[in-house]
């Protein structure tokens, strides 16, 4: 079944009005009158509470601007866990931080990379996670991997050129203009020349790596041992001004992700023999092993307290930006849904649990540990609703291979105002996810857990794990709708007289192997570094 209607174009006047209404200083507009297909007054109160008293702006702004990035093991993630517990307490919702393991604590502060010669300019760079600092500014030449023909020549380069240098370790993009822009503007012949040049340069770079005789993942530690002062990398996200920022493999020196334009500048200067020299200053420190947490809240059920509707979103992020759409938006949707439910329906039939998971970015560790540690919740789970893919309106809900779940969602969505359902497509029965996000930690156990998929909003191109994932990228009105819809689905799942069945579909053949697909196996969570 599809819940999909074409939306009408937004008029300029309406757009301007929405911009005013979403400005923090502006008064909150009353909820527009809605047509509810059913006659359930609780759904109407959920709509009114979510529209008239929305906390989405405050929640999102505090989480991203004030608390900031929330890398596993960082003080900022601990602060976020504590803030959520405190906020739920102010709303009258019981919540606690539950330890599931430990991780290597790492923190970073200010970072500065500057080109000193042949000209002076500041460059844009961020440290890769769990790499070292500099203990003050350090200057040195910028060098790139050599074009040598043997491992022996590479070792000679290590001894002669690397001590005291900043070393470029990634392929330098010949153009940081996205391919879509070339396709839109360039003549076919021009684009073909660019692509051929890029391919030739890439093949040369791969040949350099192979000629070193060192596996790629071991080159950075080798540079560290040889006396480099920093390793410079670029993991371009293939869109304007974006870099994907993860972890590094050096411990005593910094590994830096340098934005595409600046990285390519350094590489060109080095390749052309123009003797680039740079200064780097990185504040980073290792703080030892630290506990890792899930924040878990609950509104206890009045009739069936041992049956559960679970709301799910991971709290941890990478550290290149502030984790606004991965997964600040999912976090605040679940917080706001809990707030709304506590305000309008604090005595649900089934218990409502919310999990703000840690360690998702390292392999779904927090949610997998919770599922492993709480078999009674798995057993009593009515449904789990997870969100973790950006800022757009909910537009897709797959049934994860549970053949009996579709009629429940169809019935629930039929009671929701068209403004919230007109974009939604139900996939029935779809395939079970093996690991895309935290719902997979429950699907693998056979528990009915579902992903609330969002409209793309260029998530993969611009904000997923990049340096651009900041508060300004949040579509506040669409996130507000998502929280209201989540609260409505949670309420209806809690009150439904029937349990959502767990019958699984017969899985098809894998097109690559020709073998019948198997239900995903559960991951063993990493409970320590």
Cα distances from 435 to residues 135, 286, 425, 499, in angstroms, run 39, 29, 21, 25
Q: Which two tokens stand for residue 158?
A: 């290590």
Contact 497, 401 (CB under 8 A): no
* pLDDT per position as a tens digit, 6-20: 233 333 333 334 344
Radius of gyration over every alpha carbon of the chain, rounded to an integer in angstroms? 25
> Above 70 in pLDDT, residue 458?
yes
pLDDT at 229: 98
Instruction: Tell me, rounded to whole angstroms, the distance of Cα 371 from its chain centroid.
Output: 21
**Please, which pLDDT band fits residue 226 given cuts at 50, 70 and 90?**
very high
**Of 412, 371, 430, nearest in space to 38 by CA:** 412
Closest CA to 449 of 367, 382, 377: 382
Residue 505 has pLDDT above 70, yes or no: yes
Assign a CATH topology to domain 69-104+289-495. Aminopeptidase (3.40.630)
Distance CA 150, CA 137 (A): 35
CA distance 116 to 163: 18
Comma-separated ranges of CATH 3.40.630.10 domains in the chain: 69-104+289-495
Query: How confident is the model at residue 468, as a pLDDT?
Result: 97
| Residue 4 confidence (pLDDT) above 70 | no
Reported as a single tens digit per residue, the pLDDT across 99-156 is 999 999 999 999 999 999 999 999 999 999 999 999 999 999 999 999 999 999 999 9
Beta-strand runs (E) in 252-405: 255-258, 277-299, 304-314, 350-357, 381-386, 394-398
Give the number of other Cβ atoms within 10 Å of residue 403's Cβ. 15
The two structure tokens encoding residue 505: 């579909």
| Per-residue DSSP letter, 457 | T
- Give the right CATH number for 119-275 from 3.40.50, 3.40.35, 3.40.470, 3.50.30: 3.50.30
Give the length of the chain: 529
CA-wise closest residue to 474 among 12, 29, 62: 62
CA 69 from centre of chain: 11
Measured CA to CA, the distance from residue 315 to residue 326 in angstroms comes to 9
Residues 268-325 have pLDDT tens digits of 999 999 999 999 999 999 999 999 999 999 999 999 999 999 999 999 999 999 999 9
Per-residue pLDDT, 37: 85
The predicted pLDDT at position 317 comes to 98
Which residue, chain included where needed, has tokens 């779940």?
405
- Give me the helices (H) in 298-404, please: 329-344, 365-373, 375-380
Which is nearest to 291 in space by CA: 110, 144, 99, 150? 99
CB-neighbour burial class of residue 454 (10 A; exposed 0-12, middle 13-18, buried 19+): buried
Provide the strand spans (E) within 81-229: 94-117, 121-123, 125-127, 138-144, 166-168
Confidence band (pLDDT; 50, 70, 90) for 1?
Answer: very low
Distance CA 234, CA 259 (A): 6
Q: Are 309 and 494 in contact (CB under 8 A)?
A: yes
The answer to whether the beta carbons of residues 303 and 110 sit under 8 Å apart is no
pLDDT at 190 over 90: yes
The pLDDT > 90 percentage for the chain reads: 92
Max intra-chain CA distance, the chain: 79
What are the residues facing 244 on neighbouring strands? 466
Helix axes 75-90, 329-344, angle to 10 degrees: 20
| Helix intervals (H) in 387-505 | 406-413, 418-421, 440-443, 476-495
Q: Residues 405-425, buried b or exposed e (16+ Cβ, 10 A)? A: bbebbeebbebbbebbbebbe
Compute the Cα dihedral for 408, 414, 417, 422 and give only its sign: positive
**pLDDT at 243 (0 to 100):** 97
- Is the separation of the CB atoms in 260 and 295 below 8 Å? no
Judge contact between 480 and 50, C-beta under 8 A: yes
Mean pLDDT, rounded, for 325-347: 98
Q: Tens digit of pLDDT for each residue in 411-432?
A: 999 999 999 999 999 999 999 9
pLDDT score at 31: 54
Q: Which of 9-23, 241-255, 343-357, 449-463 has the lowest mean pLDDT?
A: 9-23
Confidence (pLDDT) at 64: 98
Burial classification of residue 88, based on how many CB atoms lie within 10 Å of its CB (0-12 exposed, 13-18 middle, 19 or more buried): buried
Q: Give residues with Cβ within 8 angstroms of 132, minimum separation 6.
A: 250, 251, 252, 253, 254, 282, 284
Cis bond upstream, residue 327 (ω within 30): yes
What is the band of 35 on the pLDDT scale with cuts at 50, 70, 90? confident
pLDDT confidence of residue 16: 38
Least confident residue range of 36-40, 213-217, 228-232:
36-40
Q: Which tens digits make up the pLDDT trace of 354-398?
A: 999 999 999 999 999 999 999 999 999 999 999 999 999 999 999
> According to the model, what pLDDT value does residue 175 have?
98
The CATH 3.50.30 portion of the chain extends over 119-275
Report the pLDDT value the prediction gives residue 36, as an integer from 0 to 100.
Answer: 87
pLDDT value of position 385: 99
The mean of the pLDDT values for the chain is 94
CB-count exposure of residue 159 (10 Å: 0-12, 13-18, 19+): exposed
Grade residue 39 by pLDDT with cuts at 50, 70 and 90: confident
**pLDDT at residue 24 tops 70:** no
> Residue 42 corresponds to which tokens in the numbers above?
């609780």
């Amino acid at each position: 079944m599809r819940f999909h209607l074409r939306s009408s174009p937004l008029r300029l006047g309406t757009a301007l009005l929405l911009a005013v209404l979403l400005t923090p200083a502006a008064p909150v507009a009353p909820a527009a009158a809605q047509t509810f297909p059913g006659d359930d007054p609780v759904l109407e109160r959920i709509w009114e509470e979510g529209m008239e008293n929305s906390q989405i702006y405050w929640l999102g702004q505090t989480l991203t601007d004030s608390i900031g990035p929330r890398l596993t093991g960082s003080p900022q993630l601990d602060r976020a866990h504590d803030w959520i517990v405190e906020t739920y307490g102010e709303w009258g919702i019981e919540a606690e931080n539950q330890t599931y393991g430990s991780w290597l604590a790492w923190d970073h502060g200010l970072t500065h990379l500057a080109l000193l010669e042949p000209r002076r300019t500041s460059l844009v760079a961020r440290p890769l996670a769990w790499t070292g600092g500099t203990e003050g500014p350090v200057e040195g030449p910028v060098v790139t991997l050599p074009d040598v023909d043997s491992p022996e020549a590479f070792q000679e380069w290590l001894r002669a050129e690397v001590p005291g240098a900043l070393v470029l370790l990634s392929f330098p993009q010949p153009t940081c203009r996205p391919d879509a822009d070339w396709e839109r503007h360039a003549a076919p012949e021009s684009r073909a020349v660019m692509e051929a040049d890029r391919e030739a340069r890439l093949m040369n770079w791969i040949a350099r790596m192979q000629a070193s005789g060192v596996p790629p993942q071991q080159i950075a530690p080798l540079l560290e041992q040889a006396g480099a002062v920093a390793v410079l990398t670029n993991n371009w996200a293939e869109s304007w001004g974006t870099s994907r920022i993860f972890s590094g493999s050096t411990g005593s020196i910094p590994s830096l992700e340098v934005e595409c334009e600046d990285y390519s500048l350094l590489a060109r200067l080095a390749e052309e023999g123009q003797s680039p020299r740079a200064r780097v200053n990185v504040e980073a420190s290792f703080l030892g092993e630290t506990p890792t947490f899930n924040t878990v809240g609950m509104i206890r059920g009045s009739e069936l307290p041992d049956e559960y509707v679970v709301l799910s979103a991971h709290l941890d992020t990478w550290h290149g930006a502030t984790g606004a759409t991965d997964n600040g938006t999912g976090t605040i949707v679940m917080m706001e849904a809990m707030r709304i439910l506590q305000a309008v329906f604090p005595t649900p039939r089934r218990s409502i649990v919310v999990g703000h998971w840690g360690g998702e970015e390292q392999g779904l560790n927090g949610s997998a540990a919770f599922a492993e540690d709480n078999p009674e919740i798995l057993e009593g789970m009515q449904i789990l609703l997870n969100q973790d893919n950006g800022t757009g309106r909910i537009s897709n809900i797959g049934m994860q291979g549970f053949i009996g779940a579709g009629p429940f969602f169809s019935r629930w969505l039929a009671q929701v105002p068209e403004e919230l359902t007109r974009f939604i497509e139900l996939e029935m029965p779809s395939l079970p996810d093996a690991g895309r996000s935290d719902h997979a930690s429950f699907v693998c156990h056979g528990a009915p857990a579902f992903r609330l998929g969002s409209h793309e909003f260029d998530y993969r191109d611009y904000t997923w794990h990049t340096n651009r994932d900041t508060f300004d990228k949040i579509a506040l009105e669409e996130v507000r709708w998502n929280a209201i819809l989540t609260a409505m689905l949670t309420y209806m799942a809690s009150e439904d007289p029937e349990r959502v069945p767990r019958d699984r579909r017969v899985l098809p053949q894998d097109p690559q192997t020709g073998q019948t697909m198997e239900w995903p196996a559960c991951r063993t969570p990493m409970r320590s570094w």
